[in-house]
Structure 1
Amino acid sequence: MTDRNRDDASGLDGFDLAILDILQKDNKTPQRLIAETIGLSAPAVQRRIKRMEETGTIMANVAIVNPSHVHHEITIVVEVEMCSEFGETHDATRNAFADAPEVQQCYYVTGEVDFILLVVVQTMSDYEAMTRRLFFSNKNVKRFRSFVAMDRVKVGLNLELNPKRR
């Protein structure tokens, strides 16, 4: 497949999507095995992976840790409503959420609330300390609402790529 077969918007072709599909399932899959699976040479796979890392398509290669194995038993979804969505106070709040180690994911959203946070902590005391630091001490936080997860039914980051559809 040549570059002219690449998707115009993303710059990715079917081979790239097939590589990404494999890496999402196990990023330790040997490049030789990826090459055999998708019908390319190992050096071609290596070049494609390097390009996707350089362009930010592949954002990171990480280990996904089971929270309960490291005593982070409590998952909390938090809705945060701001007093003002504009200016430096908004940016400072957004950065504080992004920098907080307890916050695994942070989304700036439309609707009745401004942010949705996914928080993982060891204890409710840890969560209380985080709320004091991030919410109560921030004059731009109007209110927040917490939902404690009773079970982690599905957790994942894989995107459905379906390289055969392209």
Structure 2
Amino acid sequence: MSEPSASTLDAFDRAILAILQEDNTTPQRVIGEKVNLSAPAVQRRIRRMEKDGVITANVAVVEPAALGHPITIFVEIELVSETAKDIDAAKRAFLAAPEVQQCYYVTGEVDFMLVVLVPSMAAYEALTRRLFFADANIRKFRTFVAMDRVKTGLTVPAG
């Protein structure tokens, strides 16, 4: 599926998305009242945006420390070989690691940026041995430990 285009979203869609990003449990009747549409019209638009890939998930945002993962680590990864096969293998490995919360294939001096959640530095060391040191295609990695979570960017500007 191709990426959804911002031009396919009208003002009603954008208003609905702004509300859903604040609280996706908002009843469609309430959304309709806020954006001046009927609840069935809101429902149709939400279904279309889900089908078109604009809305990719409906999830609960959880405090990592509440589940025993208080440490957030950012990791830069540099590969030895950047063939499509090797990049795809790295993507699969990062996708399979539950500690890797986010993974970005990036341009610049490094190949990947990871956001990792772990319960302890010992757990992070174990992850580095399993995921980085055991992979001959990882040239090097650099670690940054978050001291405070100031903003997570859970919403996309809908305007």
State whether TM-score is above 0.5. yes
User: 2:37 aligned with 1:40, yes or no?
Assistant: yes
Residue 9 to residue 159, structure 1, CA distance change in 2 (3 Å)? closer
Name 1:148's counterpart in structure 2. 145
TM-score by length of 1: 0.90
TM-score by length of 2: 0.93
Structure 2, unaligned runs of 5 or more = none
CA positional deviation for 1:9: 5.1
Q: Distance in 1 between matches of 2:53 and 2:96?
A: 20
Determine the C-alpha separation between the residues in 1 that align with 2:155 and 2:6: 20
Matched residue, 1:88: 85
Runs of 4+ in 1 over 6 A off after TM superposition: none
CA displacement 1:100-159 (0-9 Å, x = unmatched): 111111111111111000001101111111111111111110000001111111113201
SS class of match (2:108): coil
Instruction: Give the counterpart of 1:79 among 70, 76, 80.
Output: 76
- The answer for the alignment partner of 1:51 in structure 2 is 48
How many angstroms does 1:40 deviate by?
A: 0.4
| Amino acid across the alignment from 1:68 | A
| Match in the other structure for 1:129 | 126
Paired position in structure 2 for 1:14: 11
Aligned-partner Cα distance in 1 for 2:87–2:63? 32
Share of identical aligned residues, percent?
Answer: 62
1:157 to 145, 148, 154: 154
Amino acid in structure 2 at the alignment position of 1:11: T
SS of structure 2 residue aligned to 1:96: helix
Q: Secondary structure at the match of 2:30?
A: helix
Report the Cα distance in structure 2 between the residues aligned to 1:53 and 1:35, rounded to whole angstroms: 17
**2:20 equivalent to 1:28:** no
Q: How many residues get paired?
A: 155
Of 100, 104, 107, the match for 1:103: 100
Kept in 2: contact 1:90–1:140 (CA 8 A): no
Q: Alpha carbon RMSD of aligned pairs, Å? A: 1.2
